[in-house]
Amino acid sequence: MDNKGIIGKMAAQHLKLSQFSGFDLIKLELESTKKNDVLREISELLAKSPNIDNPDSAYEALIERESLASTGMGLGVAVPHGRDPSCKGLTIAFARSTKGIKFDAFDGQPVHLVFAVLVPITAIHLHLQVLASLSILLQQPENRKRLMEAEFPQEILEFLDGE
């Protein structure tokens, strides 16, 4: 494992990202294949958290951020994120598409792994910390492979904690 992998693993373990997610916030196969439909499906997933009251508000936050630039970071990964005034606390959802999604990723490739991050308007620092940790973890090919091969939500939660 190179320095980036070690740093990402340490950051994930320090933050224990799984505390912001849960079994109900993990979907191992998305039904949608189009970007906006995926964002809607992810918003419904996020709304399973007690931190999110309104899937429509979550969707608007994700769409608003997506309108600035695609959150498709390449390598088959997207990390849609946003700040939602009705969100009560940082929430992370995960969804996977074996078919792939046209997500306007920077490398032009389809997206297979989606981590959605929603935060209250005031949680800027934590928001950036989580995005940085996820970005470092998701750059590692062995981590992306692990997420693609996961059979149970528990494996995703363990990944979020750098285990």
- Is 14 tagged catalytic? no
For the record, the structure tokens of 77 come out as: 């990964």
- The beta-carbon contacts of 13-16 under 8 Å, at least 24 apart in sequence, are 13/161, 13/162, 13/163, 15/129, 15/130, 15/133, 16/160, 16/161
Distances (CA, A) of 45 to 8, 26, 114, 128: 25, 7, 12, 21
Q: Which of 81, 112, 125, 127 is catalytic?
A: 81
Residues with catalytic roles: 81
